[in-house]
Amino acid sequence: MDLNIVDDPYVGIDSEEDRQAIYQKLLERYEQSEYSRRKTIFDGFIDDWRRERLIQEDHDHRSHALVSSFAAGSFGVSFAFISQLVDLSLAVKIPVLIISWALFAFTIVLSLLQLKIGSVVQDKILDNIEKNIEKGYNSEPYVALSKGHIMFPERFLSWFSIVTFIGGLACLLLFILQNI
């Protein structure tokens, strides 16, 4: 095997125009392969991100459903059966019971708001990722999106609905314990 032989595309080309044509073809081939390489990388990133996001969405929906169900159940059960646990004509601190019902109702409203806001936030994040993938394909700078700021309303509503549920539960238990 002759080690002096090199795969040089310019061998035997004398004119500068032919050299430039070969150079352009090589450059186009490189750019296409580089674009394909970047596309493969970014497609892998988006696949990973989508899998993680689906896991997060599943967790969010389960926690949302759990809080909503508990709040609605606590509200409904306490409203329907409180007269069997406590004689309301002799009950003390009825405003505590009313506060618990209001907190349960507020929890349900917060959970519905969280669900809608979460959907809007999810759309915005996905749109931003798609833009960044397209920019990554074309070697353009990314569009930064502060996830902390965009996710804040959803996370706030999530935690606040949990706090209002716990508050409603505490008020209901306090009312029952003081009237049994």
The pLDDT tens digits along the chain (180 residues) read 455 555 666 666 778 887 788 778 877 887 777 777 777 777 776 776 777 677 777 777 777 777 778 888 887 887 777 777 777 777 788 899 899 989 988 988 888 888 788 777 777 777 777 777 767 666 676 666 666 666 778 788 888 988 998 999 999 899 888 887
Contacting residues for 40 by C-beta, under 8 A, at least 6 apart:
none
pLDDT tens for each residue of 95-110: 998 999 899 889 888 8
CA–CA gap between residue 90 and residue 93 (Å, rounded): 10
- Do residues 147 and 57 make contact, with C-beta atoms less than 8 angstroms apart? no
CA–CA gap between residue 47 and residue 151 (Å, rounded): 21
**Vertex 52: Cα angle to 49 and 54 (nearest 5):** 110
